[in-house]
Each structure stands twice: as C-alpha cells, then as structure tokens.
C-alpha cells in the first residue's frame, strides 16, 4: 500500500519499536486500501506529519496486513485514529474527520 512521504506504514513487527517505544507522541491511522474515508483523510495526515516533524509522528497501520495489532487495539471501523504517548493510548477518533479535528489529537498529546 503506497503511503505518502511523511506518513510511513508500520507493521505488526515494527509496532512496538516505532509506536509504543517512540520518544514522541505517535498518531496511528488504522486504515485499509479499500476504504474511501481513509483515502479522504490521507492528505491531512501527510500535512500534519510534516508540520509536527520532530515533535510528534504520524504512522499508518494497514488492518489487512497487520491484523495482530488491529485486534490488540480492538479496531472495528476504518479509519480509527489512536494517539499514543509513552506507549499508551491517550486519545482516539473513529471515522474521517476534518484536519483541525485530527490536529487536536496531536496538540492535546504534546
């Protein structure tokens, strides 16, 4: 699945290192290639990833590829956005949302 240049895809095997052990807060987009609302928010996530580079990270988890991680966090609807800080979920949002709402997840975690 082609991710943009700022939002990298994280798989089950990388999730602990890239998200749970991250020194900065990480916004995780649980997404799927077949999901139109997921595609709709992708440009906003790309912009936010660039905007907050160094302060927070934005990554994507393809639910079809990384089923263990998706199950671990009980993901049922796409897109589901989970905000991680210090290895814990501090906020979440289900469904496509405007950029300002997505950005709020990041700013509240900083």
In this structure, what are the phi and psi dihedrals at residue 8, rounded to the nearest 5 degrees?
-95, 155
Residues tagged active-site: 35, 38
Please report, for the chain, how many H helices and E strands are present, in that order: 4, 5
40's CB contacts (< 8 A; 6+ apart) are 96
């Amino acid at each position: 699945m082609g991710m943009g240049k700022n939002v990298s895809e994280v798989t089950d095997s990388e999730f602990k290192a890239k998200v749970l052990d991250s020194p900065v807060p990480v916004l995780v987009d649980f997404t799927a290639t077949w999901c139109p609302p997921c595609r709709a928010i992708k440009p906003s996530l790309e912009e936010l990833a660039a905007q907050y580079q160094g302060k927070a990270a934005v990554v994507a988890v393809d639910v079809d590829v990384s089923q263990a991680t998706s199950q671990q966090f009980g993901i049922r609807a796409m897109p589901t956005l989970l905000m991680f800080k210090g290895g814990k979920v501090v906020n979440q949002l289900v469904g496509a949302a405007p950029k300002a709402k997505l950005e709020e997840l990041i700013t509240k975690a900083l």
